[in-house]
Structure 1
Amino acid sequence: MVVLLHGFAEFWWAWRHQIVPLDAAGYAVAAMDLRGYGASDKTPRGYDARTTAGDIAGVIRSLGHRQAVLVGHDWGGMAAWAASAYVPEQVRALVMIASPHPLTYPWRRAGRELAWAQLPVLPERRIVARSGAYVEHLLRSRAAPGRDWLPDQDARRYRDALMLWPSPHCALEYQRMFARDRLRSAGRELRRALRRGTTAPLLSIHGREDPVLPLVAMTSAQRYVAGPHRVIQLPGVGHLPHEEDPDAVTDALLGWLSALE
């Protein structure tokens, strides 16, 4: 089984290019909306790492599987790392797409945006202003320069999905909990669990033109991975490899998954 976990400002539809090829190759595929996004419940609480890990584990079990390969992009990758820490017996392997290990988060490069997310109300207002224009701007700005990957109708789909209240608030809560839990017992517990490492094989996919995440933030995960770790860099690709160059990402996934069997 392969569980696909989307990033910030996206939803399950972000994996539309990978779902069909993975299914055709014989894998059971689940592209889930993280809590608070899309068609998932939009609860007032539950955006901490432990609850997110439980959500993923529940999806795996509810679909009749004992384990799954977790494929996470951006904050979906952070969710996958949480699952590897809290429910390791259900994680067969990990694929990180433009997502760092939580213990190697690039605070200098990404800290400003994370700090903005901590403010009350204002970030939510920015998301819903001008019919969700910020969502489209964010996605386009994170792609490699000159990469034309987001047709207007696709951008409209993302804008509409995140504007479904209270999705803006729920989506931001993942970033708020990540920052705030650093000073709480929940954060210390997560860091202890992550430091134990994982034996699950890891594939890291990074776009060379990623304006958000440096390569070292992904390769540094090696110190917490006892199993094999393969790193693939894609030329001319930014922070959304699965959408900017979907064929390359799909080929990398299929090749790596076949080697696991």
Structure 2
Amino acid sequence: MAVDAAFVNIDGPWQHRFVSANGARFHLAEVGEGPLVLMLHGFPQFWYTWRHQLLALSDAGFRAVAMDLRGYGGSDKPPRGYDTYMSTLDTASVIRALGEGEAVVLGQGLGGWIAWCMPVLRPDVTRAVASLSMPHPRVMRRAALTDRRQREASRWIARLQRPFQPERDLVRSHDCVASLLREWSSPFGEYPAADDIERYGTAMQIPFVAHSAAEHYRWIGRSTLRPDGPMFMRRIRHRIEVPVLHLQGTEDGCVLSRSTAGSGAYVAADYTRVPIEGAGHFLTEEAPEQVNRALLDWLDAMD
């Protein structure tokens, strides 16, 4: 039985809304008033992974907004447009659609990859960025090419390059999502619980989400063999002129902590790297208190 996209409209102190931006419609969860902080989730999740941060940031005087990326959750799922250039344009367009001139952009995993690119590709709307569980894309690429352990940890991206089969695996049952959540989270914690697997496994069964989610990574993988990949890496080599916060779990099974050193070389402004001891890839849910404290300390220091 197909899952309706309304599944992601989970009740809480936030407001669900849709905005039209960059030729598509995006689902958002929003709470609070003040300077805009826009949050981008990773794979295989949706906006709900930021629920703890939505509350902490709104309580601290920020307008906290978590969006479903193109192809995920309640956002539109067009047949194309899953390259990083389009993702940063989506993000910039959502910021403008919310009536704001700029925002602090937070990203987890895939969202972190996008966040790193915002100050270079969309500098006019980017006040600062925080990346969780993702180093600068050039650092990530180098690690995937030169570090055997990171290459093994990233093998799932190669599996996503196959046509049709990854989508079938993702929607057939919750087993595929459960495997990713377990492999990437800390072996010392209690995440994921059964309801986490149910929530994210079901969201992946929303029509077209599995395909769209894979398409983001298909562009990242296949572009390395085409001219647009090296061109993209050249574009983002320029040093970032806004503050950057980088949070990394020491037990991340997807992006190994040992693979994330060196991102500061691409930041001309203030760069802060905070290791989250004992946490894995899904920092917003595995270590919400540590993440909230690091985010609020960083945001306070910018004022």
> TM-score, structure 1 length as denominator?
0.95
For residues 67-97 of structure 1, the C-alpha deviation after alignment (integer angstroms, 9 at most, x for no partner) is 1111111111111123222111211111111
Report whether the alignment pairs 1:219 with 2:261. yes
Report whether the alignment pairs 1:115 with 2:150. no
SS in 2 for 1:219: coil
Aligned counterparts, 1:132-151, within 5 A: 132-151=174-193
For 2:233 and 2:184, locate their aligned partners in 1 and report how far apart those are by CA, in whole Å.
Answer: 28
For residues 119-154 of structure 1, the C-alpha deviation after alignment (integer angstroms, 9 at most, x for no partner) is 11111111112x222112211221111311333223
Partner of 2:50: 15
Deviation at 1:186, TM superposition (A): 2.6
Question: Aligned AA for 1:84?
Answer: P
SS in 2 for 1:195: coil
Structure 1 residue runs of 5 or longer lacking an equivalent are none
Moved >3 Å (runs of 4+): none
Partner of 2:207: 165
Question: Aligned AA for 1:242?
Answer: T
Does the aligned pair in 2 maintain the 1:206–1:232 contact within 8 Å?
yes
Of 136-145 and 211-220, the range deviating more from structure 2: 211-220
Aligned counterparts, 1:1-261, within 5 A: 1-105=36-140, 106-107=143-144, 108=148, 109=150, 110-129=153-172, 131-261=173-303
SS in 2 for 1:94: strand
Deviation at 1:216, TM superposition (A): 4.4
For 2:226 and 2:101, locate their aligned partners in 1 and report how far apart those are by CA, in whole Å.
Answer: 32
For 1:95 and 1:259, locate their aligned partners in 2 and report how far apart those are by CA, in whole Å.
Answer: 14
Question: Aligned AA for 1:248?
Answer: Q
- Aligned pair count reads 260
Question: Aligned AA for 1:181?
Answer: S
Per the alignment, do residues 149 and 111 of structure 1 end up closer, same or farther by CA in structure 2, a change over 3 Å counting? Answer: closer
Structure 2 residue runs of 5 or longer lacking an equivalent are 1-35
For 2:41 and 2:174, locate their aligned partners in 1 and report how far apart those are by CA, in whole Å.
Answer: 19
Deviation at 1:188, TM superposition (A): 3.2
Of 190-199 and 7-16, the range deviating more from structure 2: 190-199
Does the aligned pair in 2 maintain the 1:52–1:82 contact within 8 Å?
no
Deviation at 1:214, TM superposition (A): 2.6
Does the aligned pair in 2 maintain the 1:142–1:239 contact within 8 Å?
yes
For 1:80 and 1:149, locate their aligned partners in 2 and report how far apart those are by CA, in whole Å.
Answer: 25
> TM-score, structure 2 length as denominator?
0.82
Relative contact order (C-alpha < 8 Å, sep 6+): which is higher? 1
Q: CA RMSD in A?
A: 1.4
